[in-house]
Amino acid sequence: MIWLVGNKGMLGTELTHLFEVNKMHYVGTDREVSILDLEAMRTFTKDKDISWIVNCAAYTAVDKAEDEVELCRALNAQGPENLGTLAREIGARVLHISTDYVFSGTPFLEKGTPRPYREDDQTGPTGVYGKTKQEGERLLMAAALNSIIIRTAWLYGKHGNNFVYTMLRLMKEREAIGVVADQRGSPTWAYDLASAILHLINLPKEKLSPGIYHYTNEGETTWYDFAREIYRLGREQGLLERDCVVNPLTTDQYSTKARRPAYSVLSKEKIKALGVTVPHWQDSLARFMYQLAKA
């Protein structure tokens, strides 16, 4: 049986949907079985035959994290460690989600151009969120060596606040908006990531080596060009009824409490070698917005 932890979050909701559609044998929990309470976790799993623990629970408020260091550290570092400890006790395996924010945002260069971060590249998080996620990776692997960690980035989906919803709201409210144009990454549809997770946990055990894997949608862009594509599709699909001008901003012009990585494109070669499909971000965004328009 799979235990889906954090089933009410953005990714957790997509996984719940996929587990239902694929008739997987699973149980889902959110805050009611806190990943900070090892005893409660032991009690919950006592009478269940859990083989996979898929962890989507986390502290994800990147800016607020700068002021809530202890809570962020508890959820992002101690939580995964607790899951690893429990997994070892009950003979289960953990699949945990991490982030591009573990990297500094200064790319490694190949022939003078930035190359996507690989799984074994040096990390160097700059903010509290990234630092605690990095610590969570380390503590989980120390507690349960056979764990799987998937780093992802720029996630959006049907459930919860995310960049696509924020842009659509602002584009409805305003005649012009400014969006950061000097940070590069890969928008990722939570549904695609959930599909990749499903693929991995269905693989024969011997095919899935423990360790870190990267998954985002294919291609790379800036927040500005991502916003322009949301606008184009929004107009095309009738989600936006009036004009809005999208203007480029620099990071310095749009200050946030936590610094964002200037470059956070991730290499997907390792996960693709396992047969995982990686749709292009523009194709996935179009599918997502088509579904929004239909709904």
Residue from 18, 24, 27, 36 in contact with ligand NAP (CB under 6 A): 36
Q: Is 30 in the site for ligand NAP (CB under 6 A)?
A: yes
Q: Which span sits near ligand NAP by CB under 6 A: 1-9, 41-49, 108-116, 137-145?
A: 1-9
Rounded Cα distance between 31 and 34, Å, is 5
Q: Is 11 in the site for ligand NAP (CB under 6 A)?
A: yes
Q: Which span sits near ligand NAP by CB under 6 A: 57-65, 104-112, 120-128, 175-183?
A: 57-65
Contact 176, 118 (CB under 8 A): no
Rounded Cα distance between 175 and 246, Å, is 9
Nearest residue to ligand NAP, using CB? 9
Contact 233, 41 (CB under 8 A): no
Q: Is 208 in the site for ligand NAP (CB under 6 A)?
A: no
Cα–Cα distances (Å) from 276 to 43, 103, 151, 196, 272, in that order, read 35, 23, 14, 6, 5
Token pair for 132: 């605690």
Q: Is 6 in the site for ligand NAP (CB under 6 A)?
A: yes
Q: Is 68 in the site for ligand NAP (CB under 6 A)?
A: no
Match 């022939």 to its residue by tokens: 111
Q: Is 53 in the site for ligand NAP (CB under 6 A)?
A: no
Give residue 132's Cα distance to chain centre. 15
Local structure of residue 244 (DSSP, 8 states): -
Q: How many residues bind ligand NAP (CB under 6 A)?
A: 24
Binding site for ligand NAP (CB under 6 A): 6, 8-12, 30-31, 34-36, 56-58, 60, 75, 97, 99, 133, 152-155, 160
- Residues carrying an active site annotation: 129
